[in-house]
Amino acid sequence: MSSRFLMLLACSLVAFPAFSQASLEALLDDVEPAVIEWRRDFHANPELSNREFRTASVVADHLRSLGLEVETEVAHTGVIGILRGAHPGPMVALRADMDALPVKERVDLPFKSEVVSLYRGEEVPIMHACGHDTHIAMLMGAAEVLSAMREDLHGSIKFIFQPAEEGPPPGEEGGAELMVKEGVMEDVDVAFGLHINAGTYVGQINYRPRGLMAAVDDFRIVLKGKQAHGSAPWLGIDPIVTAAQVVNNLQTIVSRNMQLTKAAAVVTVGSIHGGVRSNIIPEDLEMLGTIRTFDPEMRETLHKRFREIVGHTAASNGATAEIQLPYSAHYPVTYNDPDLTASMLPTLERIAGAENINLIDAVTGAEDFSYFAREVPGLYVFVGGKPLDLPADQSVSHHTPDFFIDESGMKLGLQAYVNLALDYMEMASRQ
């Protein structure tokens, strides 16, 4: 066991069984420097979806040092740690995602990512451009704190370190969906998850009961035309011109076919690849994109209109279209159980202050925590990572080269993991 864990355990023997909030805060304060250190290590060594080999090894070694039951290679590279409390009670799942993104970092940090990896057959720079490095570190810290309290736990905790939240590589399974398929949630009573947020100030927590984040379906379109010399387009069928029309026509689905007073919807084309020279009309072209919805009926209508528009637009140009929808990612709505949300709201207010708890509108981002929350009641919240001295109108977006997190915000995330688990187990023990 690590020397730090032994110190925490010794502290717990003094403070518990009747542990106080002050004693708990002392444990949290003690582990916070390690959380920051772990985060920096993961940030400097990012790994893409289903390839989180080093990350998983670091996590597994830490969980073993705490005396947890550890299972590795879950859903390819996932790690599960089980902490069994001394008293009977529910199994609480705490989840963190581990994968990075194919983004080149621009922020000049001492632990800046310089890693290059293979993505869809190309060597690309990668970075933790969404904060998953902070999630891993915070959950590792939570495991350390809660392990020091095992003699007083009324129940058990399953620490889920999940790969491939950003979506598995094409042709592979992965993420929360595969974890559920492999039985990770079979003995779980409730699940909690969180996400650091670069647009929310440090010290604040954002939440929403019921639908918090959108369902997502990504898509792939291959437009096939006829190759010709660029000087004689009448001899070919141009998939590039066709793609331009497809992009514009797809936007009419949301503006003309969706009842936006009911729920939001988004169609975005994020990638177009076709052609190799300025004077050659290519034979085919690939388009990739994403669809976001909150309402099942609207999703069905959107998919129907999508296929019609892509197919008819291609045909009007003499081209053909191959459509894969969904392509590799298809997450349901991230749904916060309303009763669980109401029960745990006092916990969030206690650790952050009621004035720092924000009820927000639904977010068109997506999260595969949704698969866990379909199996058991779930609660997912956003924890602030925006520096307090940054003006309100200035913020960096996730999934960009300039993504930045103020590490002081991780303390509240660590508190949230620990206190949500403890308070839920305490409430369950009283029933």
Active site residues: 331, 407
Tokens of 299: 């999703």
Angle at which helix 132-147 crosses helix 21-44, to 10 degrees, equals 140
Per-residue three-class SS string for 211-263: EEECEEEEEEEEEECECEECCCHHHCECHHHHHHHHHHHHHHHHHHHCCCCCC
- d(CA 145, CA 8) in angstroms, rounded, equals 7
Tokens of 267: 């169609």
Per-residue three-class SS string for 102-130: CCCCCCCCCCCCCCEEEECCEEEECECCC
User: Could you tell me if 203 and 412 are in contact, meaning their C-beta atoms sit under 8 angstroms apart?
Assistant: yes
Residue 8: helix, strand or coil by DSSP? helix
Count of residues making up the chain: 431
In angstroms, what is the C-alpha Rg of the chain? Answer: 24
Alpha-carbon distance values, 118 to 48, 50, 121, 174, 265 (Å): 9, 12, 6, 17, 32
Q: Which residue has the tokens 């996932």?
A: 78
Tokens of 377: 């009641």
